Chain A
Amino acid sequence: MRVIKQKPMTLGERLYIFEAIRGLWTTLKHAARGLFCYDSLPTISYPEGQPEVRNTYRAKHRLMLRPDGTPRCVACGMCAAACPAHCIFIEATQSDDPRIEKRVMRFDIDHLTCVFCGLCVEACPVDALRMDTKVISLEHRTRDEFVSSLFDLTNWNPADYPDDKQSQMAPGGTLNKQALETWGMEVK
Chain B
Amino acid sequence: MEIIESKTWVEWLITIGKFAFCFVPVLYILLLIPMERRGAGFMQDRQGPNRSYIKIPYFGKIRLLGYVQNMCDGTKLFFKEMFAPKGANKFLYYVAPAIPFAIVFLSPCVIPWFGPMVFEWGGKSVRIAGSIVDSDVGVLLLFGLSSLSAYGAVLAGWASKSKYSFLGALRTSSMTISYEVCLGLSMMGILLLAGSFNLTDIVNWQEHHAWGIVVQPVAFFCFLIASIAETGRAPFDVAEGEPELVAGYHTEYGAMQFGLFYMGEYSHICINSFLIATLFLGGYSVPFVTTETMQAHMGGSLAILCGVLAFLALAFLHMIYRYSAKLAKRAQSNRLEILQEYKLYKLIAWLAVVVFVALGACAWLFYNPANFVVNGFAVGSLATAVGTALIHLLVLVVKSVFFCWVWIWVRWTLPRFRYDHVMHLGWKIILNIALINLVVTAVIAKLVGGN
Contacts and interface: CB of A to CB of B under 8 A. Distances in A.
Nearest to A35: B42
A27 B412 contact: yes
B42 A24 contact: no
Contacts of B44: 30
Categorize the interface residue count of chain B. Answer: 20 to 34
Given A31-B39, A34-B41, A42-B45, A49 B410 contact: no
B319 A36 contact: yes
A24 B45 contact: no
A27 B333 contact: no
A41 interface: yes
A31 B43 contact: yes
Interface in B315-336: 319, 322-323, 326-327, 330-335
Contacts of B43: 27, 30-31, 34
Nearest to B326: A39
Interface string B118-160: 0000000000000000000000000000000000000000000
B409 A41 contact: no
A23 B45 contact: no
Interface residues of A, number: 24
B47 interface: yes
A73 to B, nearest CB: 33
B174 interface: no
A50 B331 contact: yes
Contacts of B326: 39
Interface in B21-47: 38-39, 41-47
A43 interface: yes
A28 interface: yes
Contacts of A38: 47, 319, 323
Contacts of A139: none
B188 to A, nearest CB: 22
B290 interface: no
Contact of A45 (B41, B47, B414): B47
Interface of A: 17, 20, 23-24, 26-28, 30-31, 33-36, 38-39, 41-45, 47-50
Interface of B: 38-39, 41-48, 50-51, 221, 319, 322-323, 326-327, 330-335, 409-410, 412-414
14 contacts: A17-B221, A24-B410, A27-B409, A28-B409, A33-B42, A34-B38, A34-B45, A39-B323, A41-B47, A45-B47, A45-B332, A47-B333, A49-B333, A50-B331
Q: Give 10 nearest A-B pairs by CB, closest first.
A: A34-B42, A49-B332, A48-B334, A39-B326, A27-B413, A31-B42, A48-B333, A27-B43, A31-B43, A23-B413
